[in-house]
């Protein structure tokens, strides 16, 4: 997949305060600095020199078996490993051995007139969760079944950042908060605090974001790391519809909105929503909506 990224050129003119932090009398404003998807680098024969700054990094490795430098330690990288770097921690995420390493990352800071927040990751997560988290490991390893859910959050973050003005900053901050919650759920001492995303929820969100594509049950089951039969049964039990039926419901709902609110021809609507042709569109619409597109328009 192609690399995609965001680098802040200027702060938004208006932004939510949902990720700001209050530490005593000082309020720190959350500032999203960069986000990257599918960043890849070719390794060399030695680990790159570390650098440090007053920002937080959450890096999810997605490709390659290699190594990187974090807080003075050479650490292995592999798909599903999350690296956490807080202000003052020296790091270099470039691969230290020959070969390619790929990762997603989000970088942010918390600023105040008195200077940036330089709390540890454990302290930062304590601010956001209200729980006392004494320490966080420098890396966390996701089981294979959880990797797609975490990747989806990075994908959603970049998707929203790439939208034209006006930017949905509340949606962006919500996704960053979910990434933080995903991390917190793996280090908090209270085990019933769980992330809201699981394999089935990730699958539903994937369908919602790609409902105009030709999706297949084998593809969706593979993303969820389940057999087709088990995935289909579990999805229907959770959401009331089988996966492909859920996609069709989304398409019909979108078609209904286009029929009501635009003058687009049925062929144009069929093309926009990913139907093979207008006949397939009309047949699917009537099956799910109970009447044909022309009958809806009157």
- The predicted-structure confidence for 13-28, as pLDDT tens digits, reads as follows 777 888 999 998 999 9
Query: What's the structural domain count of the chain?
Result: 2
Give the per-residue pLDDT at 45.
59
Nearest-CA neighbor of 58 among 217, 160, 167, 181? 181
Residue 2, pLDDT above cutoff 90: no
Confidence of residue 149 (pLDDT cuts 50, 70, 90): confident
- Are 213 and 120 in the same domain? no
CATH number for the domain harbouring residue 104: 2.60.120
* Strands (DSSP E) found in the chain: 4-7, 21-23, 26-42, 56-63, 66-70, 73-77, 81-85, 91-92, 100-111, 139-141
Token pair of 292, please? 């044909």
CATH number for the domain harbouring residue 248: 1.10.10.60
Taking the C-alpha atoms of residue 279 and residue 2, their distance in angstroms, rounded to an integer, is 35
Residues 139/112/36/14 CA torsion (nearest 10 deg): 140
- Are 174 and 211 in the same domain? no
- Whether 193 maps to a domain, the answer reads no
Give ∠ CA 22-27-33 in degrees, rounded to 5: 105
- Are 19 and 158 in the same domain? yes
Residue 190, pLDDT above cutoff 60: no
> pLDDT digits over 239-290, tens only?
889 999 999 999 998 988 888 888 888 999 989 999 989 899 999 888 888 8
Which residue do the tokens 């992330």 mark? 195
Average pLDDT, the chain: 88
Query: Which strands form 91-92's sheet, in the order they lie side by side?
Result: 73-77, 66-70, 91-92
Q: Which residues contact 176 (CB under 8 A, 6 or more apart)?
A: 19, 30, 32, 106, 108, 157
The residue among 184, 214, 237 that closes a domain is: 184
- Whether 190 maps to a domain, the answer reads no
- Are 36 and 180 in the same domain? yes
R_g over Cα of the chain = 22
DSSP at 18 = T
- Are 28 and 76 in the same domain? yes
Give the mean pLDDT of 171-187. Answer: 90
- Are 41 and 86 in the same domain? yes
> pLDDT digits over 83-121, tens only?
999 999 999 998 988 888 999 999 999 999 999 999 999
> pLDDT digits over 201-223, tens only?
888 888 988 999 999 999 999 88
- Are 130 and 232 in the same domain? no
- Whether 191 maps to a domain, the answer reads no
Domain boundaries, position 68: 4-184
The residue among 150, 184, 218 that closes a domain is: 184
């Amino acid at each position: 997949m192609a690399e995609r990224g965001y680098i802040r050129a200027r702060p938004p003119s208006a932004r939510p305060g949902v990720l700001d932090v209050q530490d005593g009398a000082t309020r720190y404003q959350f500032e999203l600095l960069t986000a990257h998807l599918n960043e890849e680098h070719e390794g060399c024969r030695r680990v790159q020199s570390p650098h440090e700054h007053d920002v937080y990094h959450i890096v999810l490795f997605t490709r390659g078996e290699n190594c990187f430098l974090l807080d003075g330690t050479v650490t292995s990288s592999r798909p599903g490993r999350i690296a956490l770097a807080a202000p003052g921690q020296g790091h270099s995420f470039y691969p230290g051995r020959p070969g390619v390493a790929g990762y997603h990352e989000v970088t942010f800071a918390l600023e105040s007139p008195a200077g940036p927040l330089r709390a540890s990751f454990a302290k930062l997560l304590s601010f956001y969760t209200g729980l006392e988290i004494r320490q966080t490991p420098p890396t966390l390893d996701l089981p294979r079944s959880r990797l797609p859910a975490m990747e989806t959050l990075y994908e959603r973050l970049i998707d929203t950042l790439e939208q034209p003005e006006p930017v949905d900053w509340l949606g962006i901050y919500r996704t960053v908060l979910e990434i933080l919650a995903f991390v917190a759920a793996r280090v908090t001492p209270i085990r019933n605090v769980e992330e809201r995303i699981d394999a089935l929820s990730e699958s539903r969100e994937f369908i919602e974001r790609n409902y105009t594509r030709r999706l297949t049950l084998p593809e969706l089951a593979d993303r969820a790391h389940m057999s087709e039969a088990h995935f289909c049964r579990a999805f229907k039990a959770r959401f009331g519809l089988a996966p492909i039926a859920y996609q069709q419901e989304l398409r019909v709902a979108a078609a209904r909105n286009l029929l009501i609110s635009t003058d687009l021809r049925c062929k144009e609507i069929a093309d926009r929503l990913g139907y093979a042709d207008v006949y397939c569109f009309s047949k699917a619409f009537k099956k799910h909506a109970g009447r044909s597109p022309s009958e809806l328009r009157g």
